[in-house]
Amino acid sequence: MKRELDNFVIESDIEIDYFDEVVNHIINNEKRILDFFKLERLPQKVTIMFQSYEPFKEFIVSKYGECLEYVAGDSDSETSTIRILNIEDQIKYTTHKDANIEKVKSSALHEIIHQCHGVYHRDYRQTTWFAEGLATNLSNQAYSHIDLSDCDFDKLRNDFRHYKGNYNYSYTIVNYVLNNYSDEEITKLYSDPDYLRERAESIFEEVKNN
């Protein structure tokens, strides 16, 4: 299965009955995401692959050294590729036992947001929390605000992948930023990782206290 758009080549290594629905969801949200990042188009086409578990796991392990049980998607800016595990294998092999078409559609947008973010920089040292907060918010994934009083921000910054509550904390912090900061400030935060690292602690404390 394969479909080519202006910015994306979308394909699957197996037949999936929700392929066209996901493609249409990408088409309907593409301009909104590009506009947020002030992009007219991506520098080069991104390949979005819906994969079975074995090739998906093989790539994830080669990239990260492990395949954590919650991982069901990945965006690789170096190769302009996105990989999303198909619904059946998400249910079978990951913690996403409630995986469905709506969640896959939002996951596709989540990874596209990472690709757009990667146009500006690929330096995510201590800033993965912000990148994931942007992706969860802009893709309208089903996260909700969470109390930050128990959040160890040092762990969130320095070991995001292994910190319990990582996506919920990040969603909460960045949701506040998106609703309270100026467009100019938000742009500077996602485009300048050094500036974000400088501001990170004060942003966290502001959100925690509001």
Both 10 and 113 in one domain: the answer is yes
Both 50 and 132 in one domain: the answer is no
Both 165 and 65 in one domain: the answer is no
Both 12 and 104 in one domain: the answer is yes
Domain boundary among 60, 88, 119: 119
Domain boundary among 119, 146, 172: 119
Residue 131 confidence (pLDDT) = 98
74 forms bridges with which residues in the sheet? 83
CA–CA distance, 50 with 23 (Å, rounded to integer): 11
Considering the entire predicted model, what is its pTM?
Answer: 0.95
> Which residues does 174 contact at the CB level (< 8 Å), separation at least 6?
130, 133, 134, 136, 137
Both 140 and 177 in one domain: the answer is yes
**How many domains is the chain built from?**
2
Both 1 and 47 in one domain: the answer is yes
Domain boundary among 66, 99, 119: 119
Q: In this structure, what CATH number is given to the domain that contains residue 74?
A: 3.40.30.160
- Whether residue 156 contacts residue 169, with contact meaning beta carbons closer than 8 Å, is answered with yes
4 forms bridges with which residues in the sheet? 9
Residue 182 confidence (pLDDT) = 98
Can you list the residues of the chain whose pLDDT is less than 50? none
Both 144 and 172 in one domain: the answer is yes
Both 208 and 129 in one domain: the answer is yes
Both 112 and 170 in one domain: the answer is no
Residue 26 confidence (pLDDT) = 97
Residue 142 confidence (pLDDT) = 87
Both 19 and 103 in one domain: the answer is yes
DSSP string spanning 43-96? SSPEEEEEE-HHHHHHHHHHHHSS--TT--EEEETTTTEEEEE-HHHHHHHSS-
Backbone φ and ψ of 18, nearest 5°: -105, 10
In which domain, by residue range, is 129 found? 123-210
Both 169 and 81 in one domain: the answer is no
Both 9 and 92 in one domain: the answer is yes
